[in-house]
Every structure is written in structure tokens, then in C-alpha cells.
Amino acid sequence: MVRVNKLTEEWLGRLALGHPEDSHSTQRSIVRWLLGPASEGFEQLSPEKFNLVCQSIEYRYRLFQTGYRHLRPGQSYQELIQRLSRPLLLRHKIRAWVNLSRDRQRSVGEIIQEVIQDMMRSDRYLAEQLRWIATCTPQTQLRSQLMLASIEEYCWRPVRNQPLIYYRFVNYLRSGQRSGITQVPAGELIQIISEELAPGSVEESLSLLDAEAWNRYQAEQNTLEQQLQRTQIKHALSTYLGRQIGPEAVTWLNLYLQGLTPENIALHLNWPVKRVYRLREQVVYHALKGFALKEQPAMVLDWLKTSLIDHSFGLTPGQWQAFWQHLSSQEQAILQGLQAELSLPAIASNLAIRPKQVQQHWVDLYLRAQEQRS
């Protein structure tokens, strides 16, 4: 339970610092909800998957904090409906259905409410979340806030590049009256032009409604994710540099990230320029060969899109093929072991070498791949 205890203490510290007005029991309830009912399995996760879990916890807290934390139950529910009604793709689809339905006065918000109520009645995941939240806190208002945040997080989960709420709306239509026209004049032919193209099955249908708006929404989400990763990496790198070099390295990093040149940094710190350049060389060495490739390789390389498993060191298929052909059999075995997510000691045991040698080979292979990429 090392990871769970560490996350619990970290989040309790954040809540105590950010919301000192909350009682300790309230803070513990929020942290328990953030970690979820499956926190016992955190210890068995690989570092990459555990990092994803930490990011999802951060995302869930951001939804709770920005959307529901300080609102009363009635206001929180209206906030949920408004937030789920924002994607233009879903709004246009609902309006197209309303225009073909019997009651053309219904709003997008009313339809979203019906979809959410249908999900609450039939969705097993939300039922499990409701039971879990009941064990987290006895406070009625906090239960409501946590449940609404859980619903929003669940509705935004991507399914085939579209949010789950989109498919729940489609299922809601299928379970009700599918036809939007009730009185068909005899002897006349009515043609309804759909906003979807269905080349094969319903699951393969393509919406023609405002795909550009949905792409913008996805781009915004990706930007937020990149910013979150950048903040996490900056914090972790600052801690590492402070431990390896000293506080002056952290000061240099903060000024460098503000876009200052070495000369401006020297003026700001009242240092000789040569001292700034020497410190820069130290920081670059420790940041690349220590932090990025040994201390936090999964976090940094995933952010840079140069991880081995998901991005093949950032190489194109042709570059990867050429890179692979120039490797020795031992180097190929090391990469195959890393792709299979074996630990360094396990790879070292298979190759009859020391784990430190495996790590040195890994650093060398990554740097060679980046040279070929350049």
C-alpha cells in the first residue's frame, strides 16, 4: 500500500493547503473518492499505467473543483447540464432530433437531463459509483457534489473518438420512439435526410454535424493535458535538480523557462556569465542523462512523444527499421525486454549482465535514436 499511502498524504496536504476551511473528515472523504474503489490494485500497476492513474485523479479533482465544489445541490445539477451541453456536435444532433420530433419546444438541456436520468437508472458503473460515494462520506451535500463530478468525468470518456454522452444519447433515442414524424399525409412521399452517413452498420456511421467544432474541443483537451504534464515534469525536475546540484539550479531553471538568455540570467542573479554557462551545462547533463532517462523516463518520454513502447523513440517506421538493423543482438534483446515491460534486473538476468549495464545501454540507445531522428 506504499503508493496508496503516498497519494493519500500528498492529496491531504494539497487539500489542507488549498481549503483549510474544510474539516479533516471532509478532506479524507474527498481523497478517498479521488483514489476510487480499486486503489488496492495500484501496487501491481506498471510505472506508466500508474502515471496515467495519477493524471486521471488530477483530472477528476479539477472537474470537482472547477464545477461543483462551492455550489449548492440544485446549482451543481444545473452546472452539470450546462457543461454537458457545450459540445456543438452533441447540441446539433439533439436539435436535429427535436426538429423531427413531435415536441419541437424542448431544449438541449432538457434532453440532456433525460439522458442523464436514463443513465442513472440503467448504467451499472454509475450505480457502483453511487454506492462507493456513500461509503466515502455521510454528508449529503458532499455526496451530491462528488456524484455530479463522477457523472461528468464518465460522460467525457472517449469512445471511438467521441464522448460517451454522445452514444448514451443515441441509445436513449433507440430505446424510445425512433420516428420524429407522427402524421404522414396519405399519397405523399416524404424523404428525411439524415445528418449521418452509415456505410455499413450503425456503429460505423459518420456524423456530418460540425466535426470541426469537435476537433477544436479535442485540441483544447490535448492542450490542457500537455500543460498538466508540463507542470508535473517541471515540479519533478526542480526537485531532482535541487537534490543533485542545489537551489541555484532550480533558480536557473525557472528563469530559463521564462525565456531569459544566459546574459539576462547573469544580470538577474548578479553572476558572471561564465558561471551561468557552467551551471547550464550541469543542468542539461543531469536533466537529460539523470532525470529524463533514469529518474522519470516514462513521464518525460511520453510527454516528448519519444517513448519506446508507444512512439518507437519518435522514429518513423523507416527510421526505426534502419535503426534496428544496426543494433547488436544484445541491444535488440534489451529493447525487446523493455517493450515487453520487463524490469531491468529481469533483462540483466536473461543476458547475464548487471542491471546498471542494461541502464547504460538504454541511455545510449535512446541518444543514438534521437541523433538518427535529427
pLDDT at 216: 61
Strands 196-197 and 158-159: unpaired
pLDDT at 84: 80
In the numeric block, the cell 499511502 is attached to: 5
pTM comes to 0.45
Q: Distance between CA atoms of 240 and 230, rounded to whole angstroms?
A: 15
Task: Tally Cβ neighbours within 10 Å of residue 371.
Answer: 9
Number of alpha carbons in the 13 Å side-chain half-sphere of residue 209: 19
pLDDT at 72: 75
pLDDT tens for the 374 residues of the chain, in order? 788 888 889 898 888 888 888 888 999 999 999 998 888 888 888 888 888 888 888 888 888 888 888 777 677 888 888 888 776 556 666 666 555 555 455 666 777 888 888 888 888 888 888 898 999 988 888 888 899 889 988 888 877 767 788 777 777 766 654 444 344 444 444 444 444 444 444 444 444 444 455 556 566 666 666 677 677 777 877 888 888 888 998 888 888 778 788 888 899 889 899 998 898 888 877 777 677 666 666 666 665 566 777 778 778 888 888 889 888 999 889 888 888 878 888 888 988 998 888 888 877 887 788 777 76
Encoded amino acid at 308, one letter:
L
pLDDT at 206: 46
pLDDT at 295: 63
Per the CB < 8 A criterion, the answer to whether 237 and 287 are in contact is yes
Cα–Cα distances (Å) from 338 to 11, 328, 331, 361, in that order, read 32, 15, 11, 12
Task: Tally Cβ neighbours within 10 Å of residue 366.
Answer: 21
pLDDT at 45: 85
Encoded amino acid at 360, one letter:
Q
> 84 is written with which cell numbers?
454537458
Task: Select from 112, 322, 90, 358 the least CA-distant residue to 207.
Answer: 90
Burial code (b: 16+ CB inside 10 Å, e: under 16) for 273-287 equals: eeebeebbebbeebb
Task: Select from 337, 339, 331 the least CA-distant residue to 368.
Answer: 331
pLDDT at 44: 86
Per the CB < 8 A criterion, the answer to whether 42 and 4 are in contact is yes
- Which residues on neighbouring strands pair with residue 196, listed in sequence order? 207
pLDDT at 191: 44
